[in-house]
Amino acid sequence: MKIWVDADACPVVIKEILFKAADRTKITTTLVANHYVRIPPSPFIKFMQVNSGFDVADDEIVKRVEVNDLVITSDIPLADEVITKQAIALSPRGELYTKENIKSRLNIRDFMDTMRASGVQTGGPAALSQTDRQNFANHLDRIITQFTQS
């Protein structure tokens, strides 16, 4: 198992949880972004900078992800591609994307895009809460534990 992070929009507090988990479990964790992201010195934490452009980081993750890898992303289309490749997708809010829920998430996303394109102000996502952080950490621990016991 490797962990891939869609780092362009990943909150700092989530990256810090991932850094601790990578060092504790010795699982290679790679942050992929089109801008520089500071990472701590660790043999298990890597950074891959890609060119700027629409979905360039997402495409790089999809190209490299393998079965049972974990991808951290809030990007629903990326999560869908990851699941199609039999990897695991987890949002920074701790929501596990699955074959059972990803299509409805894509439909909601597309609907909201249509609303915004029509001029409707939909607002952005709420700030990351303590509950979101805890949900993320709990899901991450469960996924890692499942992998290490397999």
| CATH fold label, 3-149 | Rossmann fold (3.40.50)
What local confidence, expressed as pLDDT, does residue 93 receive? 95
Structural Rg of the chain based on CA atoms: 15
- 107-112 LR contacts (CB < 8 Å, sep 24+): 109/76, 109/77
What is the pTM assigned to this prediction? 0.87
Read off the pLDDT of residues 67-112 as tens digits, 9 standing for 90 and up: 999 999 999 999 999 999 999 999 999 999 998 888 777 766 666 6
Tokens 């049972």 locate to: 68
Name the residue among 84, 39, 38 with its Cα closest to residue 61.
Answer: 84
Token digits of residue 24: 């504790």
Task: Give the residues across from 29 on adjacent strands.
Answer: 3, 45
Rounded to a whole number, what is the largest CA-CA distance in the chain? Answer: 50
What gap in Å lies between CA 135 and CA 90, rounded to an integer?
10
Question: Which SS3 state, helix, strand or coil, does residue 58 take?
Answer: helix
- Residue 119 pLDDT level (bands cut at 50, 70, 90): confident
